[in-house]
A = this chain, B = another copy of it.
Amino acid sequence: MAKAYERIADELRADIRAGQLQPGDRLPAETALVERFGRSHVTVREALRVLQAEGLIEKQHGRGSFVRRPRTRVQRTNLRHQWEKDRAKESQSQREKTGATEHDTGLGVNDLVFHAAYSDTKATKELAEVMNVPEGTPLLRRVYRTRYQAERAPFNLATSYLVRELVEGNPDLLDETKEPWPGGTWNQLSTVGIEIDRVEERVTARPPTAEEAEELDLPPGTSVLVLRKISYDTEGRVVDVSDVTLPGDRTEMLFTTYLERW
């Protein structure tokens, strides 16, 4: 015999898949479902919880439960790296016009709110290994939050680590008030003679931590994409390690790989 909450969930799921309940539609109230299925409040809520975990519905306190609509996606492509590198060599006025995020989203500079905070830190064992420097090497940590002007929550959380010694030749690079820097990190690095040669990006997925869910305003039933980006310069040194957390339900990452011809 199937469990009661599963039968309820199955029936509602079928209604959604069949289109009897359309995206945006409100589900019957919990009290109505209690009536309809002859089960307790707790059991009905368990069924809704299953659907919520599948990302099929969204609950809104005081309003109701709704069939979820797909969120508009932000695409992030690895073609941006070449674009960023090219941009780093352009004139100041040209560079001021647009940033990498605008490139990805198609939005104007004025639609986005940008926040940066710099701090000094030392390489942990794990970071030291990735960056190929001794443990304890002084690093510059830069924390970024970017959000749409119209929304409260940022749409990504980014932390970048630079080797302090490599960048302190230009004091402006240690000054967070210079952000947002026209031309981005790769222009910053070019001022101290560093040219990026290749980028490695490692992608995994997991449910958000409590803190991430809070900060990114993620509803239950969503995942985050975790991206670690490692930038190598032309001498093979690791010059930047960035950890980026992106909402899984609104981010699409696009990677293009070109192959050698036969």
Question: Is B207 touching A223 in the complex (CB atoms < 8 A)?
Answer: yes
Interface positions, chain A 192-213, Cβ under 8 Å from B, are 195-210
The yes or no answer to A257 lying at the interface (CB within 8 A) is yes
**Residues in B whose Cβ lies below 8 Å from that of A220:** 53
The yes or no answer to A221 lying at the interface (CB within 8 A) is yes
Task: Report the Cα distance A196→B82, complex, angstroms.
Answer: 22
Binary flags per residue of A38-82, CB closer than 8 Å to B gives 1, else 0:
000010000000100111000000000000000001000010011
What residue in chain B is nearest A79 (Cβ atoms)?
B257
Residue from the list B195, B210, B248, B255 in contact with A201, Cβ < 8 A: B255
Residue from the list B198, B206, B249, B261 in contact with A257, Cβ < 8 A: B198
Q: A37 → chain B, closest Cβ, in Å?
A: 19
Q: A42 → chain B, closest Cβ, in Å?
A: 7
Q: A243 → chain B, closest Cβ, in Å?
A: 14
**Residues in B whose Cβ lies below 8 Å from that of A54:** 207-210
Question: Is B261 touching A207 in the complex (CB atoms < 8 A)?
Answer: no
Q: A235 → chain B, closest Cβ, in Å?
A: 12
Task: Report the Cα distance A39→B176, complex, angstroms.
Answer: 48
Question: Is B199 touching A225 in the complex (CB atoms < 8 A)?
Answer: no
**Residues in B whose Cβ lies below 8 Å from that of A42:** 42
The yes or no answer to A89 lying at the interface (CB within 8 A) is yes
User: Interface centre among A199, A208, A257, by most B CB within 10 Å?
Assistant: A257
Question: Is B206 touching A262 in the complex (CB atoms < 8 A)?
Answer: no
12 contacts between A and B (CB under 8 A): A53-B207, A54-B209, A82-B257, A85-B259, A195-B261, A198-B258, A201-B255, A203-B255, A204-B253, A205-B248, A206-B223, A207-B207
Q: A248-B205, A248-B206 are in contact. Are A256 and B198 (CB under 8 A)?
A: yes
Question: Is B207 touching A252 in the complex (CB atoms < 8 A)?
Answer: no
Q: A53-B220, A54-B209, A78-B257 are in contact. Are A252 and B198 (CB under 8 A)?
A: no
Q: A53 → chain B, closest Cβ, in Å?
A: 6
